Amino acid sequence: MGNETPEKTLHDGLTIPSIGFGTYALNGSEGIHAITSAIDEGYRLIDTAYNYENEGAVGRAIQRSSVPRHELRVTSKLPGRYHGYKKAVTAIQESLYRLNLDYFDLYLVHWPNPKQDQYLEAWQALVDAKKWGLIRSIGTSNFLPEHIDRLEQETGELPTINQVELHPYFNQEQQRAYHHEKNIQTESWSPLYRISDIVENKTLQNIAAQHEKSVTQIILRWHYQLGTVPIPKSSSAKRQRENLSIFDFTLSESEMGLINELSKPDGRINDQDPAVYEEF
């Protein structure tokens, strides 16, 4: 079994790798260095957001790299303060200028902010920006089924992906089943639980020992076998390489089951429930 990254095809035909690179907190010249290294190590799906304040660093790393633009999949996200239609269109354009790109492969509405209740307008802006060629594929992040149902009813357009908090302590079983039914690709944010104490987990350590892999490789392989696309962040080339090296072994059904049992209803990292949490 080789270690090449398999691809997935979204419902609009765009292909993406089965694992991507998260860039939260990779800013400035150190950020450029880390993102350049990730591209050199083989990551082709890169996740940023307007609110990470590092679209400049991502753009610079892309320009430095010798990888042709068409081989990369660049994602950014629209913040809550720009959900109004005109503001959203301008925000997408400004994101592109900062990255020095002509188009995004993926652009997501970052949070639904249901109390603010403007996510339909934001979605309409993404639908139109796609028509104008600014975005190839449009998606959401942190949207619950009720929010996605409303997008579908009002605009007839379903997101190609929904990026949600997903790790062994919060495995999003119901949300994943909903995505499956709608043919929406699940993407996992904080796929490694931002590390913290998860590396100490005995179940994960035992499975890692069985396969002679690290706990992070076991977690990322679990994401892959669930069918979700994880986007781990790492500032180190060694750990970036380690995280990509998950396609040469398989977890058994019972190992998958043991990891699924680690999930808890209150397992979110910061209790950010999209039904009530808002981010601007």
Q: Which residues bind ligand NAP (CB under 6 A)?
A: 22-24, 47, 110, 141-142, 163, 189-195, 216, 231-236, 239, 242-243
Coil, helix or strand for 266?
Answer: coil
Specify the residue, 47 or 55, whose C-beta has the smaller distance to ligand NAP.
47
**Given 24, 43, 50, 52, the catalytic residue:** 52
The span from the CA of 151 to the CA of 251, in Å, is 36
CA distances from 258 to 174, 198, 222, 252 (A): 18, 14, 11, 10
Q: Return the amino acid letter for 203.
A: T
Shortest spacing between CB 217 and ligand NAP, in angstroms:
7
Which residue lies nearest ligand NAP, judged by its C-beta? 22
The span from the CA of 100 to the CA of 114, in Å, is 32
Contact 85, 126 (CB under 8 A): no
Give the number of C-alpha atoms closer than 13 A to the C-alpha of residue 9, restricted to the C-beta side: 3
Shortest spacing between CB 195 and ligand NAP, in angstroms:
4
Specify the residue, 55 or 242, whose C-beta has the smaller distance to ligand NAP.
242
Give the number of C-alpha atoms closer than 13 A to the C-alpha of residue 148, restricted to the C-beta side: 26
- CB neighbours (10 Å) of residue 64? 14
Shortest spacing between CB 70 and ligand NAP, in angstroms:
22
Shortest spacing between CB 49 and ligand NAP, in angstroms:
7
Specify the residue, 161 or 254, whose C-beta has the smaller distance to ligand NAP.
161
Shortest spacing between CB 243 and ligand NAP, in angstroms:
5
- Mark whether 52 is an active-site residue: yes
The span from the CA of 64 to the CA of 2, in Å, is 28
Shortest spacing between CB 169 and ligand NAP, in angstroms:
11
Residue for token digits 């860039």? 23
Specify the residue, 51 or 118, whose C-beta has the smaller distance to ligand NAP.
51
Specify the residue, 21 or 178, whose C-beta has the smaller distance to ligand NAP.
21
Specify the residue, 43 or 178, whose C-beta has the smaller distance to ligand NAP.
43
* DSSP state for residue 250 in the 8-state scheme: -
The span from the CA of 4 to the CA of 49, in Å, is 27
The span from the CA of 117 to the CA of 4, in Å, is 42
The span from the CA of 132 to the CA of 115, in Å, is 30
The 10 Å CB-count burial string (b at 16+, else e) for 143-161 is: bbbebbebbeeeeeebbbb
The residues annotated as belonging to the active site are: 52
